[in-house]
Amino acid sequence: MPPALLLRSPRLLLGRSRALPPLLRLRRAPGFSPSPLLVLPSHRRLSAAQLADPLAAAGVEEAVVGFVTGKRKATEVAHSVWRSIVRKGDTVVDATCGNGNDTFALLKMVADERGQGRVYGMDIQDSAIDSTSSFLEMAVDSHEMELVKLFSVCHSRMEDIVPKDSPVRLVAFNLGYLPGGDKTIITIPRTTELALQAASRIVSSGGLISVLVYIGHLGGRDELDIVESFASSLPVDTWVSCKFEMINRPVAPVLVLLHKK
């Protein structure tokens, strides 16, 4: 009974019976030569949220008041703040592609007719890059696809990927494990710290580092400690570090936003 299935789950089953292109396109920045990368064909399910137009998503008021009243998630607060800061034609970085939801949302924010906008996406797991790439193949047009550069590499190496002459408006992190993936593969404090340091070097004045820390898994709290330690160490004359969190839900994700003045 597929209709009942659909009612029970918000996920749409599009693409389950369709074979995807055998090798998904990955784009690399000029001069970057990562180790050979094999991206396997994938059958995946897209959620309704993934297919939704992010431009129709919550504004800051709706997201923040919704967060306060329990109707919206921290990730929606993050996206709404991004939309207030990111402009068409900007260069942005998705430091942890995961299933590609943020990469997609960021692409919609920067995609411009002149083709100047860029999203540099990375993830240490090949399966995440595969997932992101196949999602984008289905969800965006070829013009927008040209604006995305995906790399299977640790986020601590983002400076190897983003061209030095590109002012970066936003670096987005989702810390934890890949939803639906191998939960034993998680982002870890040491490389996260290096990645945050790298992000703080490449983000431009007026830009933002957005860190959503999932803490419901083993090691999640340790990673939050590293993020908070890094955020609180940023000099107050050049950075604004703030944190939004639920305090009667101990495993709810924590949003840390770092604005470079």
User: Using CB under 8 A as the criterion, which residues of the chain lie in contact with a second copy when the complex forms?
Assistant: 59-61, 64-65, 67-70, 80-81, 84-85, 208, 228, 231-236, 239-250, 256-257, 259, 261
Question: CB-wise, 137 or 228, nearer to a second copy?
Answer: 228
| 8 A C-beta contact, residue 192 and residue 223 | yes
| Rounded least distance, CB 39 to a second copy, Å | 36
Question: CB-wise, 218 or 251, nearer to a second copy?
Answer: 251
| Rounded least distance, CB 244 to a second copy, Å | 5
Beta bridge pairs of residue 94: 121, 172
Q: Taking each helix axis from N to C terminus, what angle separates 220-233 and 189-202, rounded to the nearest 10 degrees?
A: 30
Question: CB-wise, 161 or 231, nearer to a second copy?
Answer: 231
* 216 DSSP 8-state letter: S
| Rounded least distance, CB 77 to a second copy, Å | 8
| Rounded least distance, CB 194 to a second copy, Å | 19
Residue in the block written with tokens 């939960």: 183
Rg of the chain taking only CA atoms, in angstroms = 18
Helix, strand or coil, per DSSP, at residue 128? helix
Q: Is 245 exposed, middle or buried (0-12, 13-18, 19+ CB in 10 A)?
A: middle
Closest CA to 161 of 173, 151, 174: 151
| Rounded least distance, CB 75 to a second copy, Å | 14
Helix, strand or coil, per DSSP, at residue 157? helix
Question: CB-wise, 178 or 257, nearer to a second copy?
Answer: 257
Question: CB-wise, 83 or 149, nearer to a second copy?
Answer: 83
